Amino acid sequence: MTRLRKLMLDELQRRNYSQNTVRSYIHAVEDFAKYFNRPPDQLGPDHIREYQVYLFRERKLSAGTIEGYSAALRFLFVKTLRRPYLSDHIPFPKQHRRLPTVLSQEEVQRLIESSKNLMHRAMLMTLYATGVRRAELCRLKVADIDSDRMLVHVQQGKGGRDRDLPLSPKLLETLREYWRWIKPKTYLFPGMVKNWRADVPITEKMVWAAVAAAAERAGITKRVSPHTLRHSFATHLLEAGSDLRTIQVLLGHAKLADTTVYLHLSRRHLQAVASPLESIQLSNPDQVSRSRKRIKK
């Protein structure tokens, strides 16, 4: 381990960053150094500018991904190398905010019914019934399913925060049937080692594959991912009358602003707003001319 890598790891640990963040920051800095084939502490503003352009033009990465790389470089130069003046030379790219895809409840039903097997069905039902992130789903343990209190315990979610979620009776029934079949020991959804079932967490890639395969069999043309079920969970709760603060807690959002996006997706809230067109008087459309000839001046 190089001196700089150890120094950066120490600074990350001092701030109690999550393991996912530590891995992504170290990977980004390694990629930065590899691009120039030089130690990162020997690089400066011109190199940072060239690297960010390279990520956009040649790697064609999304603005969100490049934002993660930029955050890693800021941490390296500002926090680890103590060069605060370089923060202005590492801009975060502007992101075009798109509304997330949401499935109707009928589409969610079709998706779950199209699961390949009982394990995939249990995974999809858990995603939709709790709104957990795919990484949180992978790390769920058998002991996290609290049937006595009808809760699902999420340990060390995003930002290292724990939270409890309500356990749906319908989900519990499916999980019990699934447990009798697979008999998982530690992790609720165990993964594979050398093509054999093992007591390790399932990979996020396998969760993606399960959702994508079910969507294809269900004939859903929307772009569906595990996160789509999280968005659908939150939107359907809002349409059913749940308040934003409750949904924020269930999703594990640090800021309420992150939850307000679902106001733009809720049909109940959109339909509650009357268009200003409704307040003006217009003649009946059947009395309007159908002629398409140009009007002479």
Q: Which residues are catalytic?
A: 133, 158, 227, 230, 253, 262
Q: Which residues pair with 151 in a beta bridge?
A: 146, 166
Token representation of residue 11: 């600074």
Q: Which residues of 261-291 are buried (b: 16+ CB within 10 A; e: fewer)?
A: ebeebbeeeeeeeeeeeeeeeeeeeeeeeee
Task: Report the alpha-carbon distance of residue 204 to residue 249 in Å, rounded.
Answer: 23
Which sign, positive or negative, has the C-alpha torsion 86, 90, 92, 94?
Answer: positive
Comparing C-alpha atoms, which of 152, 148, 171 is closest to residue 163? 152
Q: CB within 8 A of 25, min separation 6: which ones?
A: 8, 12, 17, 71, 72, 75, 76
Cβ neighbour number for residue 215 with a 10 Å cutoff = 22
User: Which residue is it, tokens 């190398």?
Assistant: 81
Token representation of residue 265: 């997706």
Token representation of residue 36: 């120039």
